[in-house]
A and B are shown apart, each in its own frame.
Chain A
Amino acid sequence: MAEEFLVAKELHKSFNEHKAVDGVSFTIHKGENFGLLGPNGAGKTTTIRMLSTVLKPDSGDVTVAGHSVKHDSDAVRDIIGFCPQELALYEELSALDNMVFFGRMVGLDGKEAKAQAMKHLEMMGLANRAKGKIAKFSGGMKRRINLAIALMGDPELLFLDEPTVGIDPQSRNNIYETIEGLQAKGMTILYTTHYMEEANRLCDRVAIIDGGKIIALDTPHNLKSQIGPPDKVTLEDVFLKLTGRSLRD
């Protein structure tokens, strides 16, 4: 059985009176791509923020490679990479400068940060734009840089929070291929998305979260099997069946 790499136990988080996350527990195995799906406001982002040490849980804990996010967050930060939903980039700086800066923040020295930045830019097909200003990049290029920055420091666990929002099919495909390449190398990934076909293609297991609770957790195949023949139903059918069709915004 694969090694447990991330273990979330009974996570709770409230903002004022609102329970954003209400007793979430799951495990991600080493080398697994774990999908966290849910409608808007379901608690995905808050969960990821707790897993990635940005927010402290009100109760419960998360361990990553045996390190507690509550008690040993620095050790956790040493082994994670984070790609937020937003294009978290400094528009006035070049792609290379952005990457080197975040590389320095994860503990690389200047030379190492530059070498890694060039390697990841090459992987993203952006090596020839290394010195271009982010402000002049297309949406797809920015998304790729956003992901490339998360790879600085060669993390063991990667958090990808909707990494393909609003981009063209070519850029999306490039990101898919990059993620598949990372999986092949044994990287552990936590992936959130609203595109169900994306989760179906990339994720080994999927957790569906709603109202701050995990309401389903299994492989895409098994989840689909719960409502019909897996080759006839889609993950989106499962998602809508479990979370309902009412609008959330």
Chain B
Amino acid sequence: MNRAFIVAIREVRTYLQDKADLAFSLLLPIVIFALMYFAFGGESLFHGTVHVVNEDEGGAYSAVFLEQLEAIDVLDVELLAAEDADAKLEDSDLLMVIYIPEDFSENLASGEPAQLLFKQRGNGGDEGQIVASLVYGVAEQMNQEFQVYSEVNSALAEYDIPRERINIVTQNYLDQERASPVIGVNEQTVGSSPDPVNLFLPGVVTMFVLFAITLSARAIVEERRKGTLERLLTTRLSVGQLFMGKFLANVSRGFVQTLILLILAYIVFQIFTPLTFIECLVIALIFAAAASALGMVIAAVARSEDGATWIAVFFTMVMVMLGGTFFEIGEGSALYTISQFSINTYANSAFKTIISEGGSLANLGLELGVMAGVAVVGLVLSRILFKVMPGGK
């Protein structure tokens, strides 16, 4: 067997023997995944709570209003006492509360207008604004229904039909209309679904793979410190094989960790098809290779493990920031130009193309080419820069 593979296998075995390291590196993707799940878990759309003070308790129309609010899938209705709601608004525990006034049903029953009261702190917050628009929608629908009752009653006023009967028939009609509206809305997602997970997963995955830089960067200085480098160099193992072995081990390690993350995402969030899953694995593998090769360059020039770690952490952070992990970088800016020097940019773009935009590997020539190029150039460069004894010729 090629000595590079034997080195890689030895590295992996060492990694498997270190229980603490193993647990940390395998648990880390699970922890990251759990954080994502709790952040976005299971909710593909907005989900909020509307806080209501119903001062019209027992009123027919306030009951209808609350019923219609509860019928909205993405909205939970929480009823509060007025004093409680006021106190929570005062303490900023709540940013928006809707008050149904005492005379709400009475006014509507007598054909008078009724007013809902929205109390909010500031602009009510993002969730408050979305909840408010949903509540406006319900109020608007109720207005339209009242309009229908009013029109029907006016139109039938000259006939001797009891008003209750007209209202019952109208009510039945409106119920049917709600069940099967004249204008319906069908949602169709092009590519994969616009889940927030889709938006954040690429950044999390790429950030994770970038840890491989630090692991690779320490690889050679660690051997030098232990004296195993010197011993290895007296065997038939060439420096090139040593670098290749270290590189392969780090790629494998980074890839396995990413694989765990992607499998969990596949099972729990169901954002992949089998094909897109495999395509993402290919991207992860090439990106892990690029990241590991950059780590090998640092390993070749670093004089100490601490030095290697700090250089690698610095590179990782810069690439994470520039690579669009946390925020999109608009085209045309100076930052955008700089971001083109981060491999994270290409990895993020590749993952997003597959996960969010429904693209395929065939659309990723540039991204895959850049990452594969970085892997090859990084490996060659690391070999050129490496000196067995720093300071020697």
Residue numbers of A with Cβ under 8 A of B are 13-16, 49, 52-56, 58, 74, 77-78, 80-82, 84-90, 92-93, 97, 101-102, 104-107, 133, 149, 159
Contacts and interface: CB of A to CB of B under 8 A. Distances in A.
Contacts of A56: 393
A93 B234 contact: no
Interface of B: 1, 3, 6, 10, 13-14, 17-18, 226-228, 230-237, 388-389, 391-393
Contacts of A52: 234
A93 B228 CA distance: 13
B218 to A, nearest CB: 14
Nearest to A18: B391
A35 B350 CA distance: 61
Nearest to A91: B226
B17 A89 contact: no
Given A97-B13, A106-B235, A107-B236, A15 B392 contact: yes
Contacts, number: 79
A49 B388 CA distance: 10
Contacts of A55: 388-389, 392
A133 B236 contact: no
B345 to A, nearest CB: 36
Contacts of A107: 235-236
B192 to A, nearest CB: 42
A126 to B, nearest CB: 18
Nearest to B225: A86
A77 B391 contact: no
Contacts of B232: 105
Contacts of B235: 77, 102, 105-107
16 contacts: A15-B389, A15-B392, A16-B391, A55-B388, A55-B392, A81-B234, A82-B234, A85-B227, A88-B228, A88-B230, A90-B10, A90-B14, A93-B13, A104-B3, A104-B6, A159-B234
A49 B389 CA distance: 10
Contacts of B13: 93, 97
A55 B239 CA distance: 12
B71 to A, nearest CB: 61
A93 B11 CA distance: 10
B393 A88 contact: no
Given A15-B392, A89-B226, A105-B6, 17 more contacts: A15-B391, A49-B389, A77-B234, A77-B236, A78-B236, A85-B227, A88-B230, A88-B231, A90-B14, A90-B228, A92-B14, A101-B6, A101-B10, A104-B1, A104-B6, A105-B232, A159-B234
Nearest to A81: B234
